[in-house]
Amino acid sequence: MELNGRWAGIASPILTLRGGPMVRQKPSMLLVTAVAGVVLFFSACGKGGSSSSSTTTTPTPETLTSPVPTVTLTASSQSIVAGQSATLTWTSTDATSVTIEPTVGPQGPNSTQPFSVSPTANTTYTATATGSGGTSTSVSVTLTVTAPPPPPPPPPPPES
């Protein structure tokens, strides 16, 4: 919240602010930025006398309406054979970015181009969304990697 105070009738006032950042200035006008719910006390004194005032800051509408982001993460398959790949896709709400670990890293809030992964061992991928409302609860998908099937046995030797 921004507060503007003019201290009329006080010659060269010294202004003291309590309840927020401490300020001691000689202003004709003071601009204060404070978080919501803070009680600010102003006092000024000078050759022309003294004056005091107080106010409580209030939240901005954005502070009240920014929901915590959510995210979902899916894999095209829950199990792959070593050497194959699977595709990860995600969607989010109220997010500006999504981070997927391991190996994928920061991404846009929705998977406009799914991400292909080829892990060599069982791997759990975890997605977390971030937005103006904070950070989402992380969601995970596990990709199980199995060994490829053994090669077929060789044909029997020819009979003579």
Range with lowest mean pLDDT among 10-19, 38-47, 97-106, 137-146: 10-19
pLDDT at 45: 56
Average pLDDT of the chain to the nearest whole number: 75
pLDDT of residue 76: 96
Rounded Cα distance, 72 and 76, in Å? 13
Confidence of residue 15 (pLDDT cuts 50, 70, 90): very low
Find out whether 34 and 23 touch, Cβ atoms under 8 Å: no
Q: Which domains does the chain have, with CATH numbers?
A: 2-62 (no CATH), 66-146 (2.60.40.2470)
**CA 21, CA 32: separation in Å to the nearest integer?**
8
pTM above 0.85, yes or no: no
| Percentage of the chain lying above the pLDDT 70 cut | 59
Secondary structure (3-state) at 17: strand
Q: Running DSSP on this structure, what letter comes out for residue 1?
A: -
Give the span between the Cα atoms of 92 and 54, in whole angstroms. 43
Residue 143: name the closest of 115, 114, 121 by CA.
121
Interatomic CA distance for residues 58 and 38, integer angstroms: 8
Confidence of residue 24 (pLDDT cuts 50, 70, 90): very low
pLDDT (mean) for 33-59: 58
Residue-level pLDDT at 109: 87
**What confidence tier does 8 reach under pLDDT thresholds 50, 70, 90?**
very low
Q: Say how far apart CA 126 and CA 128 lie, in whole Å.
A: 7
pLDDT at 133 over 60: yes
Span 145-160, average pLDDT: 88
Short-list 127, 133, 137, CA closest to 96:
133
pLDDT tens figures, 83-118: 999 999 999 999 999 999 998 888 888 887 789 999
DSSP state of 152: P
